[in-house]
């Protein structure tokens, strides 16, 4: 990646809007040791029609051993945010503002937006690893699994992780066993000889190779069958409980967030519009978009409840609406919403929402009221 | 609209040849009454799409018969076959692939209307196009008629596919994963649109999905069939199948599914399978194909014969499991050999 594209702009307000002042303490200082702090991050893509504002002013902390789910629909910026955290953005994208600070295991702070290529290579995989959406595309089809492990080691080794060439395969076996794969069968295999679920587990095993302490997973269970999905969930659960991994997983699937996350962040049009503990987010949501997602998700247990869709469609990221980006689809929208983008403000301990009318939203939710105007029920 | 029932009688479908033959669908029987919904769920490779394609007449069964209004589809006369193909329409999973990118929405919808001589005049054509777009919720219609598929979102494209299926006034729609490629917020409105279609026009649905929660929502008043490696392992009215599944595979699926509710999903009882590996269709286990993974597996009972689709029959709640048949007091429905094998055992002890 050329350095010009990742040079940080310090001037605020690079976007079209006036800068948003985040006042929420909840966004930032989550109790405990942070392993990652993101501040005012902005990422944009160059496109023929103009600039795509994929991530806008995102701030959050991730603490040790915590798992954070980024949920949202396609185009909400969640994958771009994940890629930006390990600086894997495509050439057409650039970080235009903000800091991404990792607190390493030795207690150093590194701002990864400022790392040079060498430092970046050492940082990736040994501090933070990423598991991509499609395991089939992420593995090289003409390389055996053991060579993937060797290559990863060669590319990202550093002095500190105490692994030498001869021990790589030993470590690879450990990693594979942890994700419940038989190393004897898998190491010599080519990716096409493994099933989708096995490939996904290989990816997770590979990410453990250099003992990172942060893991970023992009849609880890999408496109997998139910029972396979369950086995991946169990692996991630063990990573969290036995190895105290900090994880960020990006997903459109609310049930995965309910299952694995300690905290959940809802993204809409590139911003975190609500963030909070998993129980607060599911049982006491304060942003109309989070509520919209919850009401649209079918559940299996119990009788059939009415599902309500969110009217309208996601915004054009090149030509965003003024004010709150959700206002054209929001039942609570007023004139204020179309004029000013609301900041994330504390709505409860550890929970923040970006909505001018969160108190009304809260009162309606707790009273079990749905806005009739938007109900598309049957 | 009153249509004809569609019935599968021991239908099988083979792919490949020689040693490389797989039986994608194996001895599947069911009946769908006009105006009702059957939802097929299962994991990839379970044969649900192949079944859907046979219902739609896109492929022929290798074994057994597909009956339309009581008549074998393969023996229909030319006119009858034409009528059948018009009566049964299919909506494919991927609207990117199933809509011709070089044709506008108006052209996509006009072709079948003219081909099947569904409209008498240019004015009638225009009216019909508007009406179709209204039904699928693409309003105002004038905004959409001149658009090409690439100018539409995934959800809108899928609505065009539905409108295309409706051009010929079908009585039966096979919907193969129609909402899988659509975002959460738009998924619900698509599902509700299809439900409305059924309510207002009495369309019969064969709805294929891998997502049990979607199946539950769509087929609450209908039935769900769970398929595994080409076989129907459980077929029951939706509330019973979700609330009180019989077959261990159906139970495993329901138990494994994460729920969008943290407390429910944390407290859900999981079912431990004996193996995570799905057997290859090229080399299926003997007897019940689920037995190598099944927590209820009993040697001598499960690995001998294949259980029929209706070994368990609780007032139309069907399941293909010998162990459960015995547990539920339906031992008389087991094949004779297996019944005796069981009876001898306690005597010997």
| pLDDT tens string A55-71 | 999 999 999 889 999 99
Q: Are residues A204 and A230 in the same domain?
A: no
Is pLDDT above 50 for A359?
A: yes
Domain that holds residue A242: 27-117+214-298+306-378
Q: Are residues A244 and A322 in the same domain?
A: yes
Per-residue model confidence (pLDDT) at position A143: 93
Is A129 a member of any domain? no
Chain B residues whose beta carbon lies within 8 Å of the beta carbon of residue A296: 184-185, 187-188
CA-nearest residue of chain A to B187?
A: A309
Which residues make beta-bridge pairs with A50? A47
Interface check A252 vs B, CB under 8 A = yes
Q: Are residues B83 and B186 in the same domain?
A: yes
Q: Are residues A275 and A235 in the same domain?
A: yes
Q: Are residues B256 and B237 in the same domain?
A: no
- Residue B240 backbone zone (phi > 0: left; psi -120 to 50: alpha; other: beta): alpha
Chain B residues whose beta carbon lies within 8 Å of the beta carbon of residue A279: 262-263
Q: Are residues A207 and A220 in the same domain?
A: no
Q: Which of A226, A293, A294 sits opposite B43 (nearest CB)?
A: A226
* Count of Cβ atoms closer than 10 Å to residue A285 Cβ: 26
Q: Taking the model in full, what pTM does it have?
A: 0.86
For A290-309, give the DSSP string. HHHHHHH---SSSS-----P
Say whether B188 and A308 touch across the interface (CB within 8 A).
yes
Q: Are residues A143 and A112 in the same domain?
A: no
Chain B residues whose beta carbon lies within 8 Å of the beta carbon of residue A252: 183-184
Q: Which of A258, A296, A299 sits opposite B184 (nearest CB)?
A: A296
Q: Which of B43, B254, B262 sits opposite A300 (nearest CB)?
A: B254
Question: pLDDT tier at A213 (50, 70, 90 boundaries)?
Answer: confident
CA-nearest residue of chain B to A256?
A: B258
Question: pLDDT tier at A17 (50, 70, 90 boundaries)?
Answer: very low
Chain B residues whose beta carbon lies within 8 Å of the beta carbon of residue A310: 185-186
For tokens 């009273």, what's the residue? A367
Interface check A294 vs B, CB under 8 A = yes
Which residues make beta-bridge pairs with B66? B8
CA-nearest residue of chain B to A300?
A: B213
Domain boundary among A180, A211, A242: A211
Q: Are residues A342 and A271 in the same domain?
A: yes
Chain B residues whose beta carbon lies within 8 Å of the beta carbon of residue A298: 188, 213-214, 216-217, 260
Tokens of B168: 């010929």
Q: Are residues A200 and A273 in the same domain?
A: no
Cα A49 versus chain centre, distance? 27
Is B299 a member of any domain? yes
Q: Are residues B101 and B200 in the same domain?
A: yes
Distance from CA of B85 to the nearest CA of A (A): 30
Domain boundary among B186, B209, B241: B241
Distance, first Cα to last Cα, chain B: 62
Is pLDDT above 70 for A334?
A: yes
Is A126 a member of any domain? no
Q: Are residues B233 and B254 in the same domain?
A: no
pLDDT averaged over 10-residue windows placed end to end, chain B, 349 residues: 85 90 94 95 90 94 94 92 92 87 94 89 93 89 91 87 92 92 81 90 93 92 96 96 95 92 88 84 92 93 92 94 93 84 50
For tokens 């004015």, what's the residue? B123
Interface check A17 vs B, CB under 8 A = no
In chain A, pLDDT over 70 holds for what percent of residues?
Answer: 87
Q: Is A313:B184 a contact under the CB 8 Å cutoff?
A: no
Q: Are residues A175 and A319 in the same domain?
A: no
Domains: count for chain A: 2
Distance from CA of B240 to the nearest CA of A (A): 11
Say whether B210 and A226 touch across the interface (CB within 8 A).
yes
Q: Are residues A189 and A239 in the same domain?
A: no
Domain that holds residue B331: 248-348
CA-nearest residue of chain A to B267?
A: A259
- The length of chain A is 378
CA-nearest residue of chain B to A374?
A: B189
Q: Are residues B187 and B302 in the same domain?
A: no
Per-residue model confidence (pLDDT) at position B139: 80
Q: Are residues B255 and B207 in the same domain?
A: no
Distances (CA, A) of B290 to B9, B208, B209, B225, B298: 23, 21, 20, 16, 12
Per-residue model confidence (pLDDT) at position A160: 59
Q: Is A220:A131 a contact under the CB 8 Å cutoff?
A: yes
- The length of chain B is 349
Tokens of A85: 């955290």
Q: Helix B122-135 and helix B154-166: axis angle, to 10°?
A: 130
Is A65 a member of any domain? yes
Task: Among B218, B261, B268, pick the best mutation site for testing chain A contact (most A Cβ within 10 A).
Answer: B261
Q: Which of B188, B258, B270 sits opposite A255 (nearest CB)?
A: B258
Q: Are residues A149 and A271 in the same domain?
A: no
Distance from CA of B267 to the nearest CA of A (A): 10
Which residues make beta-bridge pairs with A95? A43
Is pLDDT above 50 for A376?
A: no
Per-residue model confidence (pLDDT) at position A165: 73
Q: Are residues A86 and A224 in the same domain?
A: yes
Q: Are residues A95 and A143 in the same domain?
A: no
């Amino acid at each position: 990646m050329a350095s010009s594209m990742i040079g940080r702009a310090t001037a605020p307000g690079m976007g079209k809007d006036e800068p948003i002042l985040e006042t929420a303490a909840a966004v930032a200082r989550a109790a405990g040791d942070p392993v990652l702090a993101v501040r005012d991050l902005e990422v944009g893509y160059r496109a023929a029609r103009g600039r795509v504002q994929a991530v806008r002013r995102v701030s959050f902390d991730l603490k040790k051993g915590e798992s954070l789910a980024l949920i949202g629909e396609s185009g909400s910026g969640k994958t771009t945010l994940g890629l930006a955290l390990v600086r894997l953005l495509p050439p057409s994208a650039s970080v235009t503002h903000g800091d991404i600070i990792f607190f390493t295991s030795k207690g150093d702070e590194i701002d990864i937006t400022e790392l040079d290529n060498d430092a970046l290579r050492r940082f990736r995989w040994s501090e933070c690893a990423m598991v991509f959406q499609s395991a089939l595309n992420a593995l090289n089809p003409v390389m055996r699994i053991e060579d993937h492990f060797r290559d990863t080691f060669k590319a990202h080794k550093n002095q500190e992780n105490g692994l030498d060439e001869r021990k790589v395969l030993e470590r690879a076996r450990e990693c594979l066993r942890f994700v419940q794969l038989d190393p004897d069968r898998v190491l010599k295999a080519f990716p096409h000889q493994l099933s989708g679920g096995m490939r996904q587990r290989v990816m997770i095993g590979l990410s453990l190779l250099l003992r990172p302490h942060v893991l970023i997973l992009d849609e880890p269970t999408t496109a997998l069958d139910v029972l396979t999905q369950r086995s991946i969930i169990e692996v991630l659960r063990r990573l969290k409980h036995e190895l105290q991994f900090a994880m960020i997983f990006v997903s459109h699937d609310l049930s995965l967030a309910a299952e694995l996350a300690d905290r959940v962040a809802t993204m809409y049009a590139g911003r975190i519009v609500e963030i909070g503990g998993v129980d607060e987010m599911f049982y006491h949501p304060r942003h109309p978009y989070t509520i919209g997602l919850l009401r649209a998700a079918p559940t299996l247990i119990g009788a059939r409840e009415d599902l309500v869709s969110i009217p309208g469609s996601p915004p054009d990221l090149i030509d965003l609406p003024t004010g709150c980006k959700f206002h054209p689809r929001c039942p609570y929208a007023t004139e204020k919403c179309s004029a000013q983008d609301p900041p994330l403000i504390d709505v409860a301990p550890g929970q923040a929402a970006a909505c001018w009318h969160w108190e009304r939203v809260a009162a309606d939710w707790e009273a079990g009221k749905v806005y009739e105007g938007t109900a598309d029920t049957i | 609209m009153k249509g004809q029932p569609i019935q599968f009688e021991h239908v099988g479908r083979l792919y490949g040849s020689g040693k490389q033959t797989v039986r994608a669908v194996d001895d599947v029987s069911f009946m769908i009454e006009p105006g009702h919904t059957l939802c097929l769920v299962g994991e990839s490779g379970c044969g649900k799409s192949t079944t859907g394609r046979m219902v739609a007449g896109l492929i022929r069964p290798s074994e057994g018969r597909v009956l339309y209004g009581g008549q074998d589809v393969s023996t229909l006369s030319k006119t009858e076959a034409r009528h059948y193909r018009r009566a049964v329409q299919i909506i494919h999973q991927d609207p990117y692939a199933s809509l011709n990118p070089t044709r506008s929405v108006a052209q996509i919808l006009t072709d079948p209307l003219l081909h099947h001589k569904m409209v008498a005049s240019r004015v009638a054509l225009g009216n019909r196009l508007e009406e179709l777009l209204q039904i699928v919720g693409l309003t105002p219609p004038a905004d959409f008629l001149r658009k090409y598929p690439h100018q539409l979102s995934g959800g809108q494209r899928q609505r065009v596919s539905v409108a295309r299926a409706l051009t010929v006034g079908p009585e039966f729609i096979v919907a193969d994963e129609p909402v899988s490629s659509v975002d959460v917020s738009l998924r619900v409105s698509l599902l509700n649109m299809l439900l409305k279609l059924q309510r207002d026009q009495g369309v019969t649905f064969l709805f294929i999905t891998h997502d049990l929660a979607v199946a539950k929502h769509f087929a609450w008043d209908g039935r769900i069939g769970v398929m595994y490696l080409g076989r129907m392992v459980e077929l029951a009215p939706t509330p019973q199948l979700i609330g009180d599944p019989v077959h261990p595979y159906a139970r495993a699926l329901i138990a494994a599914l994460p729920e969008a509710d943290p407390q429910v999903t944390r407290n859900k009882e999981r079912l431990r399978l004996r193996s995570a590996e799905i057997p290859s269709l090229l080399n299926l286990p003997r007897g019940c194909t689920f037995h190598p993974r099944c927590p209820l597996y009993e040697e001598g009972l499960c690995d001998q014969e294949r259980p029929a689709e209706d070994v368990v029959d609780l007032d139309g709640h069907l399941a293909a499991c010998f162990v459960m048949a015995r547990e539920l007091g339906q031992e008389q429905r087991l094949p004779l050999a297996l019944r005796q094998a069981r009876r001898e055992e306690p005597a010997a002890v």
